[in-house]
Amino acid sequence: MNQEVRLKIAGSTRWDDGLDWHLFGHTVINPRTVVSIKERISNFSKALEYIPLTGKVSKNNYMDFLNAFEDKDKSLGYCVSVVSRILAMKRPDIFICLTQANRENIKNDFGINKEIKSNEYERYWDEIIERIHKSDWFLTSEPKDLIEKDLWEKRVAMLDSIFYTAKL
């Protein structure tokens, strides 16, 4: 993929091509972050190797990912929203993208007392992902029907559509 396609998929900006690339969320990415991502794409790839393509993802996998991905310069914009979006694209069965448009509803429905700040990566796992993974809904058996199975494999990322509130 070229850089423009990557930015479209990341939902990083508006594009005048007739498609609503923000339909599945968007993120405002600092231009320095885009340059940093482009320059350090191999670091992102190496960090993502800690997240298995199939099977269970443990907190240790997640923490190893964060340690490999860690950004010392917070001004580059690697916040929970950006990190969770990358993870939800790789494993939509495990992760949900935490955004401005869904965080209030998630906070309320999950009984989280205070908002998860942009650099509170461990709270994202402990208070959102872990709760999802312990729910009866998440623990249901894989369906046999192919259409249902396809949706089941993306069930966590699809929670965004339930918690999403459009900002007008």
* pLDDT attached to residue 161: 87
Domain boundaries, the chain: 41-163
Is residue 83 within 8 A of residue 95, CB to CB? The reply is no
Environment class of 120 (CB within 10 Å of its CB; exposed 0-12, middle 13-18, buried 19+): middle
**pLDDT, tens only, 54-91:** 999 999 999 999 888 665 445 545 688 888 988 998 99
Average pLDDT over residues 35-51: 73
Average pLDDT over residues 31-47: 64
- The Cα angle at residue 48 between residues 152 and 32, in degrees rounded to 5: 115
* pLDDT attached to residue 135: 94
**pLDDT, tens only, 135-168:** 999 999 999 999 999 999 999 999 998 998 876 5
* pLDDT attached to residue 107: 95
Average pLDDT over residues 16-33: 60
